[in-house]
Amino acid sequence: MNTQWTIGIIGGSGLYAIDGLEEAEWRTVETPWGTPSDQILFGRIGDVAIRFLPRHGRGHVHLPGDIPARANIDALKRAGCTDLLAISSVGSLREELPPGTFSIVDQFVDRTVQRPASFFGGGLVAHVSLADPTCERLSAFAAAAITAAGGRVAERSTYLAMEGPQFSTRAESRLYRDWGCDVIGMTAMPEARLAREAELPYALVGMVTDYDCWRDDRAAVDVAEIVAQMAANGRIARAAVAHLLRHLPPERTPSPIDTALDGPIMTAPAHRDAGMIARNEAILARVLGLNLTAG
């Protein structure tokens, strides 16, 4: 049993670097799902190994709907990650979540429609539970780190994942509020789904940049304001990430998510497609007894 932490950090809009990273080296990790958003930055902070992947690519070159989520998660799995901390800019659907707030997401409503959402398919069928889609342990570490970094944090938020790249209409924004959603973004799905299929505990920190357009007394979402708020959020986020990594427990105890594929694979062994098995070798590494890490 591996008791060492290897934290994969998926940086979204506003977080493009990790402060204090030692032995930093960008490495190419190839996957059968295509090219990830970018190379992965290998390094460490203290005794914790880090794998950093900019979700949109360096220079912000990928639209939300074009992010190669399967390649990203597969690459992070191959790079030896034990857990994933995702950072993402979000809009607020609640008055009590003003710009500058950090939101720890624990639930999702997925309204994306054009993105491959699973590693599994014909010849290799699996139904993985997603009732509780984020990791409670890593989420708690993230909340404490944000507080230590001087940020305001709201826990247990519901994230509405929209297709984009346009922002919501006012009618949509009001509907999402009625559904009980707290924040809105374009990138966390299918990322969170795929992390669970890959047996990677996943936590999402939403950095609130703006109020979505549900308020009658406010103009539509202003991109210039969002970019300015991103910069402010990013400073706190970088400090919080550094704090989290330096204050993890010395040993990583097992998570139930580590064995998420025990049971969900429905296709009988004799009927499993060999090509699908090969394509999913990183995702199925524990199940098949393989050692495929790139780090």
As a whole number, mean pLDDT of residues 42-66 equals 95
Lowest mean pLDDT among 60-69, 218-227, 266-275: 218-227
Work out the pLDDT band at 20, boundaries 50, 70, 90: confident
Judged against a pLDDT cut of 70, whether residue 291 lies above it is answered with: no
Q: φ, ψ for residue 145 (rounded to 5)? A: -70, -40
Alpha-carbon span 76 to 36, nearest angstrom: 9
pLDDT at 294: 55
From the list 21, 11, 70, the residue with the least C-alpha distance to 42 is: 21
**Per-residue pLDDT tens digits for 233-242:** 889 999 999 9
As a whole number, mean pLDDT of residues 161-181 equals 96
pLDDT at 141: 98
Work out the pLDDT band at 225, boundaries 50, 70, 90: confident
What is the pTM assigned to this prediction? 0.95
pLDDT at 249: 96
**Per-residue pLDDT tens digits for 155-168:** 999 999 999 999 99
Read off the amino acid at residue 61. V
Residue with the bigger pLDDT between 119 and 215: it is 119
Residue with tokens 């979402």: 221
**Per-residue pLDDT tens digits for 142-153:** 999 999 999 999
Judged against a pLDDT cut of 90, whether residue 10 lies above it is answered with: yes
From the list 230, 238, 241, 242, the residue with the least C-alpha distance to 100 is: 230
CATH of segment(s) 6-288: 3.40.50.1580
Judged against a pLDDT cut of 90, whether residue 116 lies above it is answered with: yes
Q: What positions carry a catalytic annotation? A: 210, 212
**Per-residue pLDDT tens digits for 203-213:** 999 999 999 99
**What value does the mean pLDDT of the chain take?**
93
DSSP string, the chain: ---S-EEEEEE-TT----TT-EEEEEE---BTTB--SS-EEEEEETTEEEEEEETTTTTT---GGG--HHHHHHHHHHTT-SEEEEEEEEEE-STTS-TTEEEEEEEEEE---SS---S-BTTB-B----SS-S-HHHHHHHHHHHHHTT-EEEEEEEEEE---SS---HHHHHHHHHTT--EEESSSTTHHHHHHHTT--EEEEEEEEEE-TT-TTS-S--HHHHHHHHHHHHHHHHHHHHHHHHTS-SS----GGGGTTTTTB-S-GGG--HHHHHHTTTTTHHHHT------
Work out the pLDDT band at 221, boundaries 50, 70, 90: low
Distances (CA, A) of 184 to 25, 115, 133, 198: 33, 17, 16, 24
Residue with the bigger pLDDT between 65 and 228: it is 65
Q: φ, ψ for residue 185 (rounded to 5)? A: -155, 180
Judged against a pLDDT cut of 60, whether residue 105 lies above it is answered with: yes
Percent of the chain residues topping a pLDDT of 90: 85
Alpha-carbon span 63 to 56, nearest angstrom: 7
**Per-residue pLDDT tens digits for 127-143:** 999 999 999 999 999 99
Judged against a pLDDT cut of 80, whether residue 260 lies above it is answered with: yes
Alpha-carbon span 33 to 243, nearest angstrom: 33
